[in-house]
Structure 1
Amino acid sequence: MQEKVERLVAWLQAKVKETGVKGLIVGVSGGIDSAVVVNLIKRAVPDHSLGVILPCKSNPEDMEHAQIVIDQAGIDSMTVDLTETHQTLFSTIQTQLNNKDELHQDQQQLADANLRARLRMSTLYTLAANYQYLVVGTDNAAEWYTGYFTKYGDGGVDIVPLVHQTKGEVKEMAKYLGVPDEIIYKQPSAGLWEGQTDENEMGTSYEMIDRYLKGESIPDQDKEIIERMHRTSQHKREIASSPDKF
């Protein structure tokens, strides 16, 4: 694990040098993946790394955990509360849809959640432009393969250091880096709505996805879910689709 961490830190340092930026920035959610990234970028560029807490109708416990991570890593930080901004924009959009009698209530929960993710992305890039930093993503191998991220939201980043690490490997890395237990062992959740958990939303578990990615045998039901998620989310892992040149 020490070797893996050192290689990731060296890769982050190389990306800073290669792109000519001054440092690295990451959104801190209070979850294990962002906690690991916080620790990695702090090691890579100790004096030019920034963790940003971005509450947006968020669970207070997640914000507390985010602050715990900031304190544990000793990284510079700031908080930008997006709750009012989100409410203003989302209600304005809903009003226009209502005026056209085209508001689909069954789609509003997901639209709401995705807008939050995209507001966070926009905020991180605004800060990154100010500091001349790269925006660092937190997606692990399981999330990347299944497309369990918001396109141009938490998937809208410059670099993704954990993209080849399974959820289990991220957990082991978190232990090595000294991430507090309450972060490591909490139920994975994107905090999209009250009671939301990653595994309930996906219909399978990170353990099953990790086993699938390692080529191990898993139940057919889980395999079908994982392969369907990968197939339908392919567009998220590519730049905007275009026709062949003619």
Structure 2
Amino acid sequence: MNSEKIVDHIVSWLKEYATNAKVNGFVIGISGGIDSAVTSTLCAKTGFPVLCVEMPIHQGENQVSRGKEHITQLKNRFEKVETIEVNLTNTFEEFKNVVPITDNIATLNMSLANTRARLRMSTLYYFAGLHGYLVAGTGNKVEDFGVGFFTKYGDGGVDLSPIADLMKSEVYKIAEYLNVPTSIQKAAPTDGLFGDSRTDEDQIGASYNELEWAMTQAELGKTIAEFSDREKEVFTIYKQRNSANKHKMIAIPVCEIPKNLK
């Protein structure tokens, strides 16, 4: 993997897209995670203005501090990086006060987690509208096209996806090349949507390295009978999530009206 050439390619792609779209820059949500750190750095390297938005909702202090460390580094390296914090905790709590609450705790917690992501998406598009910016997505390949580990119309609601053709392991290599803060490179990946310390691996049941392996095996047409016990477990997790989340990865179904009815 040639990190330098990949970075140059993505930066060139971003510049060309923004120029053709006649927009003024990029806006991106900063979470303190590896994906948003890499994406925001790539956007900053274009020379276009970049607005980094922090949107805490009962956020863990370690996530907040990593995000601030990254933004400080980014502003020191690039002239056109600006930042703003919009604390959405009260907005989130107000939302909870005006909607019905179910006794099914599992579905309630998942719905509220997705609500956090959608509040953040709305906030990013508010600033995009104010400044004439594009919302840059932070999803990587295994999340966006493998297991669908993102919120539909939340962090999946973006204008363009600079790193969506990179596996998570490749994102880490790019992060190292871009000198993303070590604290972010070493942190366990987490979506931070539940207000606790659970990691992505805790939620999914497999590490990103395992999921990348499963995604590759599925693309090769391999079957579960060919694998060891742990490999079978991981492959099953991958296939189940890939199937359940297909609705996130394909175009919205459209009811096509027969011509003879029009």
1:126 equivalent to 2:99? Answer no
Contact 1:38 1:70 in 2 (8 A): no
Show structure 1 runs of 4+ deviating over 6 A: none
* 5+ residue gaps, structure 2: 76-80
Match of 1:38 among 37, 40, 45: 40
Task: Give per-residue Cα distances to partners, 1:79-136, cap 9 Å, x unaligned.
Answer: 010000010012211xxx25xxx55333211111111100000000000000000000
Match of 1:226 among 210, 229, 238: 238
Q: Distance in 2 between matches of 1:239 and 1:25?
A: 24
Other-structure match for 1:235:
247
Q: Distance in 1 between matches of 2:252 and 2:93?
A: 29
Q: Distance in 2 between matches of 1:10 and 1:35?
A: 18
Other-structure match for 1:139:
139
Other-structure match for 2:29:
27
Q: Give percent identity, aligned residues only.
A: 33
The code of the aligned residue for 2:197 comes to G
How many pairs are equivalent?
239
Q: Distance in 1 between matches of 2:201 and 2:106?
A: 21
Helix, strand or coil for the counterpart of 2:137?
coil
Larger CA Rg, structure 1 vs 2: 2
Q: TM-score, normalised by structure 2?
A: 0.87
Q: TM-score, normalised by structure 1?
A: 0.93
Q: Distance in 2 between matches of 1:203 and 1:226?
A: 10
* 5+ residue gaps, structure 1: none
Residue 63 of structure 1 deviates from its aligned partner by 0.9
Q: Structure 1 residues 212, 105: CA separation in 2 closer, same or farther (over 3 Å shift)?
A: closer
Q: Distance in 1 between matches of 2:251 and 2:95?
A: 26
The code of the aligned residue for 1:187 comes to A
Residue 220 of structure 1 deviates from its aligned partner by 1.4
Residue 210 of structure 1 deviates from its aligned partner by 1.7
The two structures, once aligned, show a CA RMSD in angstroms of 1.5
Q: Distance in 1 between matches of 2:198 and 2:257?
A: 43
Helix, strand or coil for the counterpart of 2:120?
helix
Q: Show the 5 A alignment for 1:1-246.
A: 1-46=3-48, 48-74=49-75, 75-93=81-99, 97=100, 103-144=103-144, 145-193=146-194, 194-215=196-217, 219-246=231-258
Residue 62 of structure 1 deviates from its aligned partner by 0.7
Task: Give per-residue Cα distances to partners, 1:22-70, cap 9 Å, x unaligned.
Answer: 1111000000000001100000134x11111110111121111111111
